[in-house]
Structure 1
Amino acid sequence: MGSFFSTPAASRSDEGESAVIAIHSADRFNEQFQASKDSNKLMVIDFSASWCGPCRFIEPAFKALAAKFTDAVFVKIDVDELSEVSRKWRVEAMPTFVLVKGGQEVSRVVGAKKDELERKIHMFST
């Protein structure tokens, strides 16, 4: 049975999914936020929705950025699942990427703008 379960895990890591943390509860988000704040690492929050075409379009690029910028923490939040977290961060359009460092928002990218997102991650992760 071990080989049956190892294959999906290997294919997930090959796609870079393991570098993006999917958050499904406000408590889990708060834990991740506090850990990022304590470590002073850049946290990149992807606010998206399953029904959002541009969100699906940029998802592979977001995963690739997470694999490239290993010194930053990448999290994904579904705005419908965690509407209270989305409201707290004033998310009004999808996708919205919020860059947080030291517990404070340092930048934001609204829309599927891969190049702008990569430039800002590079700027704040160093």
Structure 2
Amino acid sequence: MGGFFSSLWTPPPNTDDGDSAVVAVHSKASWDEQLKIHGSATANKLMVIDFSATWCGPCRFIEPAFKEMASRFTDAVFVKIDVDELSEVAKTFCVEAMPTFVLLKGGQEVSRVVGAKKDELDRKIKTFISSSQS
């Protein structure tokens, strides 16, 4: 039983490998820059934001799938935000549970997935990428 509970409270190993297609945002200035480039009203790409926390078990569970989606869906921008580091950004998007995935298109939220629902997230990304290519 100790293994299960310790897995909930033990920080995960550093997974910020340099070859990931996910942009980890660690400051408000960096977030503002990402939003300016990819989240503006004129931006054509889908932006998928992963609001997570290092202590969140489901966040760690879905992280490999999120990275895999980022490498597969190259027509979208994938961003990861730690809610403890950037709580003001999380509040802006009314994030109340982790993980929360917010999909932005043209500066507007078009969808969201709350929870580690890999298949639902994959399906929504496909929907909004294909709608931008038509």
Q: Same fold (TM over 0.5)?
A: yes
CA distance in 2, matches of 1:39, 1:97: 19
Question: 2:98 aligned with 1:98, yes or no?
Answer: no
- Any unmatched runs of 5+ in structure 1? 1-10
Would you say the 8 A contact 1:54–1:94 is kept in 2? Answer: yes
Give the TM-score normalised by the residue count of structure 1.
0.86
Aligned residues of 2:52 and 2:82 also touching (Cα < 8 A): yes
Counterpart check, 1:29 vs 2:31: yes
Taking only the aligned residue pairs, the percentage that are identical comes to: 70
Structure 1 segment 48-67 matched on structure 2, within 5 A = 48-67=52-71
Q: TM-score, normalized by length of structure 2?
A: 0.81
Aligned residues: 112
* Residue in structure 2 matching 1:119, options 105, 110, 123: 123
* Runs of at least 4 residues off by over 6 Å: none
Q: Output the amino acid matched with 2:22.
A: V
Alpha-carbon RMSD across the aligned residues, in angstroms, is: 1.1
Contact in 1 for aligned 2:43/2:107 (Cα 8 Å): no
